[in-house]
Amino acid sequence: MKIIISGGGTAGHINPALAVAELLRERGDEVLFVGAEGKMEMERVPHAGFSIIGLPVVGIQRRLTLKNLAVPFKLLRSLSKAGNIIKNFKPDVVVGFGGYASAPIVRAAQKRGIKTVIQEQNSYAGLTNRALAKKAYRICVAYEGMERFFPAEKIVITGNPLRSVLTNLPSREQALKIFDLEPAKRTILVVGGSLGTRTLNEMVVQNEIPSNVQLIWQCGRYYYDEMVERAAHKIPLAYIERMDCAYSVADVVITRAGASTVSELQLIGKPTVFVPSPNVAEDHQTHNAMSLVKRGAAVLVKDSEAINSAMQMAVELAGDTERCLEMAAAQRAMGRMDAASDVVKVISAQNYPNCLMPS
Q: Tell me, letter by letter, the H, E, C secondary structure of the chain.
A: CEEEEECCCCHHHHHHHHHHHHHHHHHCCEEEEEEECCCCHHHHHHHCCCEEEEECCCCCCCCCCHHHHHHHHHHHHHHHHHHHHHHHHCCCEEEECCCHHHHHHHHHHHHCCCEEEEEECCCCCCHHHHHHHHHCCEEEECCCCHHHCCCHHHEEECCCCCCHHHHCCCCHHHHHHHHCCCCCCEEEEEECCCCCCHHHHHHHHHCCCCCCEEEEEECCCCCHHHHHHHHHHHCEECCCCCHHHHHHHCCEEEECCCHHHHHHHHHHCCCEEECCCCCCHHHHHHHHHHHHHCCCCCEECCHHHHHHHHHHHHHHHHCCHHHHHHHHHHHHCCCCCCHHHHHHHHHHCCCCCCCCCCC
Under a CB-based contact definition with an 8 Å cutoff, are residues 296 and 326 in contact? yes
In a domain, 358, yes or no: no
**Number of domains present in the structure of the chain:** 2
In a domain, 355, yes or no: no
Mean pLDDT, residues 309-322 taken together: 97
The range of the structural domain enclosing residue 128 comes to 2-160+337-348
At 269-291, the pLDDT tens digits run 999 999 999 988 778 899 899 98
> In the predicted model, is pLDDT for residue 356 greater than 80?
no
Q: Give the whole-angstrom CA distance, residue 23 versus residue 346.
A: 13
What residues form the annotated binding site? 10-12, 122, 163, 194, 240, 285
> In the predicted model, is pLDDT for residue 57 greater than 70?
yes
If one compares 167 and 96, the residue with the highest pLDDT of the two is 96
In a domain, 356, yes or no: no
> In the predicted model, is pLDDT for residue 167 greater than 80?
no
If one compares 15 and 139, the residue with the highest pLDDT of the two is 139
- Do both 304 and 201 map to the same domain? yes
- Do both 239 and 253 map to the same domain? yes
Q: What is the pLDDT of residue 210?
A: 95
- Do both 150 and 189 map to the same domain? no
- Do both 342 and 259 map to the same domain? no
* Nearest Cα to Cα of residue 311 among 220, 200, 166, 229: 200
> In the predicted model, is pLDDT for residue 140 greater than 80?
yes
- Do both 146 and 187 map to the same domain? no
Q: For residue 39, what pLDDT band results from cuts at 50, 70 and 90?
A: confident
- Do both 181 and 280 map to the same domain? yes
In a domain, 353, yes or no: no
- Do both 240 and 290 map to the same domain? yes
In a domain, 95, yes or no: yes
- Do both 171 and 254 map to the same domain? yes
- Do both 227 and 315 map to the same domain? yes
What residues form the annotated binding site for UDP-N-acetyl-alpha-D-glucosamine? 10-12, 122, 163, 194, 240, 285
Under a CB-based contact definition with an 8 Å cutoff, are residues 8 and 36 in contact? yes
- Do both 93 and 177 map to the same domain? no
At 209-224, the pLDDT tens digits run 999 999 999 999 899 9
Contacts 24+ apart (CB under 8 A), 317-320: 317/252, 317/271, 317/273, 318/186, 318/187, 318/188, 318/213, 318/251, 318/252, 318/271, 319/186
- Do both 341 and 288 map to the same domain? no
Q: What is the dihedral of CA 272, 277, 281, 286, to 10 degrees?
A: 40
> In the predicted model, is pLDDT for residue 352 greater than 50?
no
Q: For residue 354, what pLDDT band results from cuts at 50, 70 and 90?
A: very low
- Do both 154 and 196 map to the same domain? no
> In the predicted model, is pLDDT for residue 342 greater than 70?
yes
- For the chain, the average pLDDT equals 90
Mean pLDDT, residues 137-154 taken together: 94
The domain that holds 175 is classified in CATH as 3.40.50.2000
In a domain, 34, yes or no: yes
> In the predicted model, is pLDDT for residue 351 greater than 60?
no
Query: The whole model's pTM is what?
Result: 0.80
